[in-house]
Structure 1
Amino acid sequence: MMIFKVMGAVLFLGMTLLGGTASAQTANTSSIELSLPGSQERLLIGGGLPFGLYFPLAGTLCRLVETAEEPALCAAATLADSDAAIAALEDGTLPFALVQSDWLYHAVRGSSRYQETGPADGLRAVAAFYTEAFTVFTKATGPISKISDLAGKRVSVGADTSYRGILANVALSTAGLERDDLAEASAEPVVSAIERLCDGQTDAVVVMAVHPAEYLTAAGRRCGITPLSFSDSEVADLLGDLPGYASVVIPARTYPGQAVPVKTVGLRPVLVTTVDADDAVVGALTTAIARGLSRLNEAHPAFSTIRIEDLTSASLFAPMHPAAASALGVAAQ
């Protein structure tokens, strides 16, 4: 019998093979042991917190595993953040976990926040998924059609230390601008900022979102906001300044009145394991994901645009596990 120990986690067991509704079990001690009956191979996938997207993604991956041609029991475990996921993978607490692409990129290279701890040489990527895209929204009929047009305008950029704020600074620099070149740089929450954009109280809003986002679609219908596209050279500059990000194209007509595709960059959740993971288990999990891609698309609006090329983009952030690379038809690094 296989037993996984999960430190301080909340486990949600998949529905299909356990029968009935998924149930939650909260750890009351410093650790709990998950022991499932039967002789089938069992998987445990670390996600984020239940109110985010990583946890439902982990749960959906479990459902794909449980309904595969050779099904296995699967459970999703909550984790505080990507740093906790990386720690759980390295100490063997979890065999699989979802990690944000920039954190993963720096962890395997021992850079940024991982300079002191050094490279996490044992981490291996399995598959990547949707993109949380850096996007600048403005009025479709307004005077702003490119990033350099933000000079002298009122822009909601978010708090200085937020992803919105950091990315706004990087984007402005690609156009030769600084925050001082804006007429106003405000830090209200993004939903409030979009309302102010509709009401003409600000000129542009920096957004980090998985597209399409319902609140942005509603604003597009209400007042004709639209995302700005970066040029190819600007995307290249952004990628050079933002390790662990990926290029992304928001298709035309994603939002009302958006006539052309929008080029930008963003972050992706990456399913990660370790170099010691069993090839058969990694291969079976990856195959279940690839074959179940249409069901993954249907599971949540945020997952609706995931394509096979998104899965294989995991190799941008960390070395691919050979079994995952084989299942996805790409070369291992």
Structure 2
Amino acid sequence: MRKPAVLSIIGAAVLAASALAADFITFGSGSTTGVYFPVATGISKLINDANIDIRANARSTGGSVFNINAIASGELQMALVQNDIAFYAYNGSTIPAFEGKPVKSIRSVAILYPEVIHVVTRRDSKIASISDLKGKRVIVGDVGSGTEQNTRHVLEAYGLSFSDLGQTIRASASAGITQLQEGKADAMFYTVGLGASAIQNLALTTQVNLVPIEPDKIKAMQRKYPFYDQVVVPGNTYKGEAVSTITAAVKSMWIAADSLSADAVYNVLKATIGNEKAFKEIHPNLARYFSLKGAVRGLPVPLHPGAERFYKEIGVLK
């Protein structure tokens, strides 16, 4: 009569030991209204569904700068970040959060898709050009964010700085959207993947325009900051914007802590990018832009050894 009890105790012990043996990955993303969060959530689900003794949990965060610092502190093990911010962090330059304090504990896993600089304005503000932002109330992103840095570079290309704005508003994406809706701001910079729900929701309630960044200005940005590309936001990406808009973009990338074992990262990649069809189904930006060859092109920080093993195995790297 005692055997079932003994067996249940043994079974519980085996399960407990299995749980202790599993690797746990907290995956940093961004705002729930952006693209990072659904992408990180989708990647985490693929990891969890693969039964590889690794459990992943996507966490909403403040974005690139926070994610890199959180990997350095051990709070996160993987994250999505802008490629330019990863470069500045690894080299300890440009951004006050990293200047003179390089973060050498981050490693590349994959380049994913373009992160587009959206310059969103209220239609009644009659802002048609970046030059028209002079004297206006402009949301430039959170302090130390990737958006803030991109905003500086765009304004610089037009001979402007934050001091030329009528009001420089530092706010999160969700707070910025609210201020635009309530007429407390005229324009907003937001570096995010195409189709971000924050901008989609704004366009449903407020008449807005996307302001282009002119090709010659993008070239000027590229000469000084080589991470920028020229991209086009297709017409009808957002309600009321039927015309395509030229703008600049950086790239989103997946990074990992160098403390994660090569086996763990290799197994994670086999379960995610190795299942390319399911990986691309996570989000339209991955379906449109992600490629295996592009995943290792122009990496701003060293590749994680586990990722290197994976890409060599599939023939992307020699």
Same fold (TM over 0.5): yes
- 2:249 maps to 1:265: yes
> Who is 2:210 aligned against?
227
Question: C-alpha root-mean-square deviation of aligned residues, in Å?
Answer: 4.2
What is the TM-score when the length of structure 1 is the normalising length?
0.64
Please show how residues 1-333 of structure 1 align to structure 2 within 5 Å: 37=18, 42-48=22-28, 57-68=39-50, 71-76=51-56, 81-88=67-74, 96-98=77-79, 100-101=81-82, 102-112=84-94, 113-114=97-98, 116=100, 118=102, 120=104, 123-129=106-112, 132-139=115-122, 143-151=126-134, 154-158=136-140, 161=143, 163=145, 164-182=147-165, 184-187=166-169, 189-196=175-182, 203-239=186-222, 249-256=232-239, 257-266=241-250, 268-274=252-258, 277-278=261-262, 281-296=264-279, 298-299=281-282, 303-306=283-286, 307-309=289-291, 312=295, 315-321=298-304, 322-326=308-312, 330-331=316-317
Q: Which letter maps to 2:43?
A: L
How far the C-alpha of 1:83 sits from its partner, in A, is: 1.0
Relative to structure 1, is the Cα distance of residues 240 and 190 closer, same or farther in structure 2, using a 3 angstrom cutoff?
Answer: farther
Relative to structure 1, is the Cα distance of residues 159 and 297 closer, same or farther in structure 2, using a 3 angstrom cutoff?
Answer: closer
Q: Tell me the distance in 2 between the aligned counterparts of 1:99 and 1:309.
A: 17
Whether contact under 8 Å (2:107, 2:301) holds in the other structure is: yes
> Who is 2:12 aligned against?
none
Q: Tell me the distance in 1 between the aligned counterparts of 2:128 and 2:205.
A: 20
Relative to structure 1, is the Cα distance of residues 298 and 258 closer, same or farther in structure 2, using a 3 angstrom cutoff?
Answer: same
Matched residue SS, 1:320? coil
Alignment coverage as a number of residue pairs: 281
Q: Tell me the distance in 1 between the aligned counterparts of 2:177 and 2:260.
A: 44
Q: Tell me the distance in 1 between the aligned counterparts of 2:229 and 2:26.
A: 22
Q: Tell me the distance in 1 between the aligned counterparts of 2:72 and 2:272.
A: 21
How far the C-alpha of 1:86 sits from its partner, in A, is: 2.8
Matched residue SS, 1:83? helix
Relative to structure 1, is the Cα distance of residues 219 and 87 closer, same or farther in structure 2, using a 3 angstrom cutoff?
Answer: closer
Whether contact under 8 Å (2:106, 2:301) holds in the other structure is: yes
Which of 1 and 2 has higher RCO (CA within 8 Å, sep 6+)? 2
Q: Tell me the distance in 2 between the aligned counterparts of 1:160 and 1:98.
A: 18
> Who is 1:26 aligned against?
none
List per-residue Cα deviations over 1:226-284 (Å, max 9, x = no partner). 32222333334445666777765433321122421442224624232539843x55444
Matched residue SS, 1:254? coil
List per-residue Cα deviations over 1:56-90 (Å, max 9, x = no partner). 6555323323444xx412222569732121343xx
Q: Tell me the distance in 2 between the aligned counterparts of 1:305 and 1:316.
A: 19
Q: Tell me the distance in 1 between the aligned counterparts of 2:126 and 2:154.
A: 18
List per-residue Cα deviations over 1:136-173 (Å, max 9, x = no partner). 11256875333223345x23234783535554333222
> Who is 2:8 aligned against?
none
What is the TM-score when the length of structure 2 is the normalising length?
0.66
> Structure 2 stretches of 5 or more lacking a match?
1-14
